[in-house]
Amino acid sequence: MLTLLGRLHLLLLHLPIGLLAFALFFELTGRYRRRPENRNAARLLLGWGALTAVLSASCGWLLAQEGGYDEDLLWRHQWLGFATAGLAVAAWVLRHHKVYLPVLVGCVVALIATGHFGGSLTHGEHYLFEKKEDPAVAPAVGPARFSPQSLVYQDIIQPILKAKCQSCHRPGKTKGGLDLSTPEGLQRGGENGAIVLAGQPDKSPLLQKILLPLHDDDHMPPAGKPQPTPDEIALLRWWVAQGADFQKTLGQMSPDSTVAAILSGAGETPQNPVFSLNVPAAGAADLEKLRAAGASAMPLGVDQPWLAVSFAGNRKLDAQSLSALRPLARQVVDLDLSNTNLDAALWEKLPEMPHLTRLHLARTQIGDASLKKLSTAAYLEFLNLTGAPVSDNGLAALTGLKHLRALYCWQTAVTPAGLQQLGAQLPALKIDNGAPPDTNATPLPLRPPKILFARNIFEDTVQVALDFPKLVGVYYTLDEASPTTQSFAYDGKALIFNQTTKIRAIAAKPGWANSPIVEASFVKRKYKIASATLAAPPSPKYPGDGARSLYDGRISDNHFDKAYLGYEGEHLTATLDLGETREVGRVSVHCLENNNSWIFAPRGLHVWTSADGKTWTKQLDRQFPVNSSMQDTKAHLFSELFVQPTACRFLKVQVESLLKNPPWHPGKGQKCWVFVDEILVE
């Protein structure tokens, strides 16, 4: 409890800074501009400033008991903080006395000094005036930087520790008593002893903590901080295994082939020049039209114009849908048309996208003649033709694509001879035609990654992390497409969603079978439901709060929570009133599954819309797979799109129950339950 109170210091400290500074400002302007209302405001701000200063100083004292800070800086910051709080209280007591203004000025001066030493504690003693390295001239990892005479610790290991560890472990901020800025600090270790055991990387706490799952409390660096890359981890491990020497050169330590490849930059591909082009950002209205056409569109980064667009799985593509790409043709660099009804006729309707780098055409009807259109895709790096009706003749159109690095042509008519000829013309191209490996061993499957999040229904944004041990790749999609090793690669940073999104992910590693797919939906609450009625009342055992439970914003993963409506042996049907006509294109249902308690996920979801509550049009008719065995207890969020958005005021939503326990269940044939606690409309 005391630890929690201490850490509140980081939340409280900004309040007295603003309140006391503005108190002085209003006091001075009130005096010299003769505005009594300003002086009244100053006294009010001073009162609150004094109170929050006392609270902040108290919490700061508790935080200091955790240790790990430079003692001299801490002493100055602590006592100046106490002085600031004391002077603020004194100024409040003396607010009608002639010494009031000097005391208030002294309080603000002490406040500035306190803030300076506080910043030095968290960011370093010389942070305010420290000269930052220009990233444009920072040396890059590569053959121009490293030579046999390079010092391994100084030139390779210490920069990694500086970038990823020293924000918390350096002079002025030695969390856990650990200073990683010097060889002496590394050798000394921290409060719990040595962190580097020479020659024993698997037993060295430094590497053990780096390799823990991201959500583990002991994982270092903490979640939210920059994480070491797989190459950096490999370099740290090699250095420790070789004896963790601080003086040897690269030539003396004889790096193995893996380390040599990392240091030489082998296998690194220069960034595609397309990303250095000056392209305007996509228009919000154009993006909305594209999404209304059934596509997902995700920016590739903050303040970046580039888009990844997916129609994957849409078997109802038409020329009108594809025309929505035309205003965004310059911004699209990743286009996924896999598992769609795309054929030669629709291909001709596709606008030319001059900056395309990745194209997914798996399991479409794109043949040899259509591939000729790709001859102008100057920046194309990745092409997936798996299951498409292409042959060696179609490959001729690819020979001019100098940036092409990956080609997937499983289950096609392409021959080894044709691939060999293409490879000779594009030596950097990696071709995967699905040939089985030369082994009789069946690879073991990896366990699936974990999708970590606090809430899957959100108002503004939601942060999502994918968790898996280091050195295993995690790949994900943000649409209905199944993830493969050609999907987005997860880089360890939290994904931030500001709109409804479904993520599907796998773990993959050479020599192992890909993990099963895991998925989760995240729904942004868009429309407020004005009221709702139920076609039939829920069971008296689980009545929730009646129909209001479906839109009160309360969700739970515990079936004992009264947020849920429980229906035994019957479907849940509710009529929702939005209060006014809205453009609706998606309905989401949050429900619970606990097979041991005879609660099953819905078998289907059906939605009708109406403008007047009398005439109804069916918009959604979705069936879900039925369990074939006992499942873990968990909450589900089923989020389904309409074929086309529609204007309506009323929605009738039926959550279809399994009605009876399936034959494999111990209570087979008995009535089962469906539990729902929220319905969302977008």
Residue 3 has pLDDT above 70, yes or no: no
Looking at residue 572, its pLDDT comes to 95
What CA–CA distance (Å, rounded) separates 601 from 586? 19
Considering the domain architecture, whether residues 670 and 549 belong to the same structural domain is answered as yes
Given 230, 264, 298, the domain boundary residue is 264
pLDDT band at residue 470 under the 50/70/90 scheme: low
The closest of 540, 459, 526 to 288, measured between CA atoms, is 526
Please report how many Cα atoms fall inside a 13 Å half-sphere around the Cα of residue 117, on the Cβ side.
19
In a domain, 438, yes or no: no
Same structural domain, 551 and 649: yes
Asked if residue 445 has pLDDT above 80, the reply is: no
Structure tokens at 346: 């629709």
Last residue of a domain, one of 71, 99, 123: 123
Q: Which of 2-6, 123-127, 185-189, 453-457 has the highest mean pLDDT?
A: 185-189
Say if 202 falls within a structural domain: yes
> Is residue 603 a part of any domain in this protein?
yes
- How many separate domains does the chain show? 5
Res. 140 pLDDT band, cuts 50 70 90: very low
The whole-angstrom separation of Cα 6 and Cα 15 is: 16
- Name the percent of the chain lying above pLDDT 70: 87
User: Which pLDDT score is estimated for 2?
Assistant: 57
Q: Which long-range contacts (CB under 8 A, 24 or more apart) does 280-289 make?
A: 280/305, 280/330, 281/305, 281/331, 282/307, 282/327, 282/328, 282/331, 283/327, 286/324, 286/327, 286/328, 287/328, 289/324, 289/327
Instruction: Lowest mean pLDDT of 118-132, 272-286, 440-454, name the range.
Output: 118-132
**What SS3 class is residue 115?**
helix
Pick from 310, 295, 301: which is nearest to 275 by CA? 301
Q: Is residue 149 part of a domain?
A: no
**Chain-wide mean pLDDT for the chain?**
82
The CB density around residue 568, as the number of other CB atoms within 10 Å, is: 17
Q: In this structure, are 163 and 249 located in the same domain?
A: yes
Q: Which of 405, 432, 459 is the last residue of a domain?
A: 432
Percent of the chain at pLDDT above 90? 17
CB 513 within 8 A of CB 538: no
How much is the pLDDT for 121?
Answer: 60
Q: Per the domain annotation, does 373 fall within a domain?
A: yes
Is residue 142 assigned to a domain? no
Q: Are residues 554 and 426 in the same domain?
A: no
350 & 279 share domain: yes
Residues 539 and 657 occupy one common structural domain: yes
The pLDDT score that the predictor gives to residue 442 is 58
The answer on pLDDT for 491 being more than 70 is yes
Domain that holds residue 638: 531-681
**Does the pLDDT at position 133 exceed 50?**
no
Residue 206 sits in the same domain as residue 280 = no
Co-location of 383 and 249 in the same domain: no
pLDDT in the model for residue 213: 54
Q: Which has the higher per-residue pLDDT, 123 or 662?
A: 662
Q: What is the largest CA-CA distance in the chain?
A: 96
